[in-house]
Amino acid sequence: MTLFPKRLLVACLACLALAGCETVLGQREPLAEAPVITPASPTGIGLETLPPPERAIDVAIYAFPDLTGQNKPSDNFAEYSRAVTQGGSAFAVDALRRAGGGKWFNVVERGGLQSLLQERQLIRATRTEFEGVNAKPLPPLRFAGLLVEGGILAYDANTVTGGLGARYLGVGLDTKYRRDMVTVAMRVVSVQSGQVLLSVTTTKTIYSVLVSGNIYKFVALDRILEAETGFSRNEPTQLAVREAIELAVYSLIIEGAERKLWKFKNGGSAAALIERYRGAPVVGAKAELADPVPPTQYSHLESPPAPASAAAAPASPPEAPLRAGDTPAR
């Protein structure tokens, strides 16, 4: 076979290969998967199945930033991508909205407040232009009595590394693993007093595993068999951050009920949940409760304890948390 037919054969094979890669309109390419709703984690399912509260709580969250300032760890080259997600506020809002099947918190929009105010200004200007001074005003924005603050505190890479391998007569198996850790903090702040009512810190481990096997041996006097196989499993960092945030919200709800900041609709369920939360080590949450709230600064749903002498110091009604539709005290 001359050189020209060889080139022609190679060109024909290349054309066939390219033709096999073409896709029909409306069909996915080979190995392409359809998008799916992010599956719920075990912690997220526990958060969603919490018993409902006595009444929903109005909360606002402005930001949930990445406070680590770290880039992705790499041993070979400089990596400029962030180690953790920059969308922690979206995970926090989603966890608050899904708590107790959506019955625990009324979350008001604050992350995109500038866009919201600009759109309301546009509506008012349009109504005034077409309807004049008799234009119908917009209803007031809903405000909250509690702020949810916090962020992603730390990302520790390679906290634990290890592996195991063996080879016998040219057949080998090798396993390696690595553990990282991400830490999230969340707190609840009273709008009326500015006091930190609750604070929790949660930690989630992130595992990466590599398993590989290979064969290198003589199958005949002048013939060698060589083969390799393996797979790796890296836990997504953003899902670990999401689960840590979900656990933080779960912990805030349980500890708030324990401190009488809010109530479950069913008191028996609250007692059982608190007992299980305090007694089960699998919860994995490190709670950092604030000091008891002074009686003069109560801003939650419960009444302060009555004074020792009712005649000397009559009890005054407690302050209710700011809720939508309430008028702030002047």
Number of neighbouring beta carbons within 10 Å of residue 269: 14
pLDDT tops 90 at residue 105 = yes
- Residue 108 binned pLDDT confidence (cut-offs 50, 70, 90): very high
The model's pTM is 0.72
pLDDT tops 80 at residue 118 = yes
Check residue 83 and give its pLDDT. Answer: 79
Among 52-56, 75-79, 118-122, 280-284, which is the least confidently predicted range?
280-284
Q: Are 181 and 206 in contact (CB under 8 A)?
A: yes
- For residue 71, what is the DSSP state? B
Check residue 300 and give its pLDDT. Answer: 38
Phi/psi of residue 211, nearest 5 degrees: -125, 130
Residues 192, 296: Cα–Cα separation, whole Å: 12
Mean pLDDT value of segment 227-252: 91
Q: Are strands 196-220 and 171-190 parallel, antiparallel or unpaired?
A: antiparallel
Q: Are 63 and 131 in contact (CB under 8 A)?
A: no
Please report, for the chain, how many H helices and E strands are present, in that order.
6, 7
Instruction: Return the structure tokens found at 84.
Output: 């953790």
Residue type, 141: L
Report the percentage of the chain scoring pLDDT > 90. 29
Among 5-14, 156-165, 235-244, which is the least confidently predicted range?
5-14
Phi/psi of residue 109, nearest 5 degrees: -75, 125
Residues 33, 263: Cα–Cα separation, whole Å: 44
Q: How far apart are the first and last CA of the chain?
A: 98
Q: What would the pLDDT profile of 140-149 be if each residue is shown by its tens digit?
A: 888 899 999 9
Domain residue ranges in the chain? 42-160+182-208+235-291
- CATH top class, domain 42-160+182-208+235-291: alpha beta
- For residue 280, what is the DSSP state? -
pLDDT, the chain, mean: 78
Q: What would the pLDDT profile of 52-102 be if each residue is shown by its tens digit?
A: 999 999 999 999 988 888 777 776 766 677 778 888 899 999 999 999 999
